[in-house]
Structure 1
Amino acid sequence: MHESCGVFGIYAPGLNVARLTYFGLFALQHRGQESAGIAASDGERIRLHTRMGLVAQVFDEDALARLSGHAAIGHNRYSTTGSSKIANAQPIFVDGPAGSLALGHNGNIVNSAPLRKELISQGFTFQTATDSEIIAHLILSAPGKNWEERIRHAMRRLKGAYSLVILTEDKLFGVRDPLGVRPLCMGKVDGGWVLASESCALDLTGAHYMREVDPGEIITIDASGVRGSSGEPGKRALCIFEYIYFARPDSVIGGNLIYPAREAMGVGLAHEHPVDADMVMGVPDSATAAGIGYAQASGIPYGEGLMKNRYVGRTFIQPDQRLRDLGVKLKFNPMVERISGKKLVVVDDSIVRGTTTPRVIAMLRRAGAREIHMRICAPPIRYPCFFGVDMASRRELIAAQKNV
């Protein structure tokens, strides 16, 4: 499953903004592993560096040294619109009638096709296949006497989910869609301000968490300080997968720390679906907290039965099914001595395509488990998502094809 990308922005004259952005992207690596990039501004021009790969592979000391300036944005990509190739890496950089900007986007625009067609008819050319470039062109071509007005005008045209970081020569913007589908928060750092998809990126960069960017809000940060401009928010619709799977357990989203929220899911599962067993285990790492919650509520001991290779990417976030299948085999190794002869409760966060679950069960059976009782935190996922999660067809969803 693809989601979500990770976005980060910082405005802090006097600090090494490129390096802090690099650290912020490290903290958000779980949100996207296909490509990474940083754009930085020194007040006169915007410099950009993007590559395919993980953050540690994309940047070296020379690349960071070239990204000098007082403000920067960064992006980790997991493709939801546009294929996995370097041309679609972000941040993207676009010139237009109003000036130039760099933009990083987490989400998915539902009406991107008609907007792209409209912009092409107006003479715009596209360098990428992403909906993020559509957003950038909409902003640059929008009427308005300043950037805030142009961004607000573009927001009225967009349908879908978007948390944006936008960099101009002298300003940094954070933008969240009216439904607040994708997370975005802000923090204070010495001499400046930070924007990030998750608060864990603030922690790593030494920023103090201030608050979430409200749905429909535009945050503007420049030499005069920080200010927010609220639009008309819709009904709040934060993606439930942030709590179940995407977000790091140490992040705060919607005012809630993710770890105890996942722990509570396990407690609820134990109350709703108890079973007699010898050991509870969570599928690492996204279901660890829920597994511990199940064990605490049931009184069954918690133990680790699968060791995870943490150098393998998240299987849901691999670009195609063949890589997902291989990823499961590379990712987990059962500990036979802890599993053999036992009745197991195996807690997992969700079943989307059904890639991981049958392979995990087969591994545990081969390791000698006597009984395996699966417990899943998320309800059956029967319908596609069009707001930034890569499950756009019911054919992909196992719960849409099978009885539960």
Structure 2
Amino acid sequence: MGGFFGTISNTACATDLFYGIDYNSHLGTRRGGMVTLHEGVFNRAIHNLENSYFRLRFEADLDKFQGNSGIGVISDTDPQPIFLSSHLGKYAVATVAKVNNISELEKEILDNGGHFTEFNSGQINQTELIALLLSEKKSFIEGIEYVFSKIKGSCSMLILTEDGIIAARDRWGRTPVLVGKKDGAYAVSSEPCSFPNLEYELVYNIGPGEIVKLTSDSMTQLHKPNDKMQICSFLWAYYGYPTSDYEGINVDTVRHACGMAMAKKDTVEADYVAAIPESGIGMGLGYSEGKGIPYRRALIKYTPTWPRSFTPANQKIRELVAKMKLIPNHQLLKDKKIIFCDDSIVRGTQLKDNVEILYGYGAKEVHIRIGCPPILYSCPFIGFTTSRSPLELIARRTVKELEGDENKDLKKYATTDSEQYTNMVECIRKKLKITTLKYNSVEDLVESIGLPKESICTYCYNGEGEDY
């Protein structure tokens, strides 16, 4: 997916920029980049993060980042930020985006005499494409609106100009963009967890399609937010950081509510509740409270050599790292009936490995409770998972096994407690060798989040959501 951070101050910004970007590290796995502006000159560095993590890669570069304004990004796509000179002036741009019609737009630009300079694995750089679209119009506001109208997918962006930072949130608000303030400085980030330790106070949620401009002492609205929003529900279920608030709603509070909702409907008996760390913990604590049975730490995440920001892009290495990070507590597992809470099941590989470990250490029963519904659709709007094909999803593969066609009766499979849904969940349970398996319903997830259903995208669960 990716996340960005920008700051503009009346003093040097490099330290805030460096740590602010790092607080977005859990959102991306491939590359990091940062750029500052000093006396009309852009200073930039981009590094591969697949075999390391942001702080180690960029610490040695810090001295070169002079100036009072800068932007940076943790990216799951191409090397960025991109900087260029156009009739709009000199500027740099960083994006959190998924452009599904990139080939069509590339052809259109080339046919009109344009050209590209940045490539990644033989493909054009989508952030450069967005920058070229921006430059086709007479102003940044017109250019951003043009980008929103042209791309199929989503795009939020930060633009570092010679007189400020322009922040624009995707027109459907699928990913968050938030503003923080402290004396003499503003910051903007995908993750508000980047603000407190840098002494910024969260002061504003940029709305869907809204554009604002930041200077060291002001925030100016350049375009009002759109009336409709489709923010990703998976933000609260999984990839949002527990301390973060989006649309005024705290991530850990939502996960706790998901656990409470599950506990109210569950009749299983167990010795205690545990969680698959880290994103299952909030739900596990909520379930424990709602069920009235103790919470214990039967799996512990080992962090000294496997920090959160280290998430290799290679799937096999990622699975190995995921296994290495979790250490089972033998004394808590032996001969116990345990309810394990987790955020989601995407492919199922990691959970299957974890379950085998739990049984291997003597667990008598393993009951899995999932905070969100089964994921039946690959997301066309943001890159929250590396799944390209629906058949990479364990729920969709199960539909194909049951029906012979992965697209048959998907609405019925997405309907909680329907015959098809029940059969699908039972098949997944058997594959993963779990004693029992239950998912939260879409309705319970939406209620736990607390926003109107029409403001939340649930496409990955039921195929429902606004078009591009």
Q: Please give the TM-score of this superposition, normalised by the length of structure 2.
A: 0.79
Partner of 1:83: none
Alignment CA distance shift 1:78-1:346 (3 Å): same
The answer to whether the 8 A contact 2:208-2:226 is kept is yes
Residue of 123, 129, 135 corresponding to 1:134: 129
Partner of 2:17: 21
Hey, what's the Cα distance between the residues in 2 that align with 1:344 and 1:197?
36
Partner of 1:197: 190
Partner of 2:344: 350
Larger RCO (alpha carbons 8 Å, 6+ apart): 1
Hey, what's the Cα distance between the residues in 2 that align with 1:360 and 1:244?
20
The answer to whether the 8 A contact 1:75-1:91 is kept is yes
Partner of 1:38: 34
Give the CA deviation at 1:32.
1.7
The answer to whether the 8 A contact 1:181-1:237 is kept is yes
Give the CA deviation at 1:137.
1.0
Hey, what's the Cα distance between the residues in 1 that align with 2:245 and 2:125?
29
Uncovered stretches (5+) of structure 1, i.e. residues with no partner: 80-87
Partner of 2:65: 67
1:328 pairs with 2:322 = yes
Give the CA deviation at 1:38.
1.0
Counterpart of 1:12, as a letter, is S
Give the CA deviation at 1:314.
6.4
Alignment CA distance shift 1:232-1:225 (3 Å): closer
The answer to whether the 8 A contact 1:174-1:219 is kept is yes
Greater Cα offset, 108-117 or 304-313: 304-313
Hey, what's the Cα distance between the residues in 1 that align with 2:21 and 2:215?
22
Residue of 103, 107, 121 corresponding to 2:97: 107
Greater Cα offset, 199-208 or 244-253: 199-208
Give the CA deviation at 1:289.
0.6
Q: Tell me how many residue pairs correspond in the alignment.
A: 389
The answer to whether the 8 A contact 1:42-1:169 is kept is no
Partner of 1:84: none
Give the CA deviation at 1:261.
0.7
Alignment CA distance shift 1:268-1:71 (3 Å): same
3-state SS of paired residue (1:180): coil
Residue of 139, 143, 149 corresponding to 2:142: 149
Residue of 5, 8, 17 corresponding to 1:8: 5
- Cα shift readout 1:264-304 (whole Å, capped 9, x = no counterpart): 01111111223100010010001101000000000111000
Give the CA deviation at 1:366.
0.3
The answer to whether the 8 A contact 1:178-1:234 is kept is no
Pairing of 1:2-401 with structure 2 (within 5 A): 4-14=1-11, 16-53=12-49, 54-61=53-60, 63-79=61-77, 88-121=78-111, 122-128=113-119, 129-140=124-135, 142-144=136-138, 146-222=139-215, 225-231=218-224, 233=226, 235-310=228-303, 311-312=305-306, 318-389=312-383, 390-401=386-397
Hey, what's the Cα distance between the residues in 2 that align with 1:117 and 1:237?
30
- Cα shift readout 1:328-354 (whole Å, capped 9, x = no counterpart): 321211110111110000100000111
The answer to whether the 8 A contact 2:177-2:191 is kept is yes
Counterpart of 1:321, as a letter, is Q
- Cα shift readout 1:38-74 (whole Å, capped 9, x = no counterpart): 100124121101111212112225x212111121001
3-state SS of paired residue (1:391): coil
- Cα shift readout 1:373-393 (whole Å, capped 9, x = no counterpart): 010111010111122223331
Uncovered stretches (5+) of structure 2, i.e. residues with no partner: 399-423, 426-468
- Cα shift readout 1:295-326 (whole Å, capped 9, x = no counterpart): 00001110001121224366996423312321
- Cα shift readout 1:126-165 (whole Å, capped 9, x = no counterpart): 413332221111112x221x33333233332233222211
Give the CA deviation at 1:224.
7.5
Counterpart of 2:9, as a letter, is A
The answer to whether the 8 A contact 1:5-1:31 is kept is yes
Hey, what's the Cα distance between the residues in 2 that align with 1:323 and 1:387?
26
Alignment CA distance shift 1:387-1:43 (3 Å): farther
The answer to whether the 8 A contact 2:13-2:68 is kept is yes
Hey, what's the Cα distance between the residues in 2 that align with 1:365 and 1:232?
51
Greater Cα offset, 124-133 or 198-207: 124-133
Counterpart of 1:197, as a letter, is S
Give the share of equivalent positions with the same residue, in percent. Answer: 30
Counterpart of 1:117, as a letter, is K
Give the CA deviation at 1:234.
5.9
The answer to whether the 8 A contact 1:305-1:334 is kept is yes
Give the CA deviation at 1:21.
0.8
Hey, what's the Cα distance between the residues in 2 that align with 1:152 and 1:131?
17
Hey, what's the Cα distance between the residues in 1 that align with 2:349 and 2:117?
35
The answer to whether the 8 A contact 1:354-1:398 is kept is yes
Alignment CA distance shift 1:314-1:393 (3 Å): farther
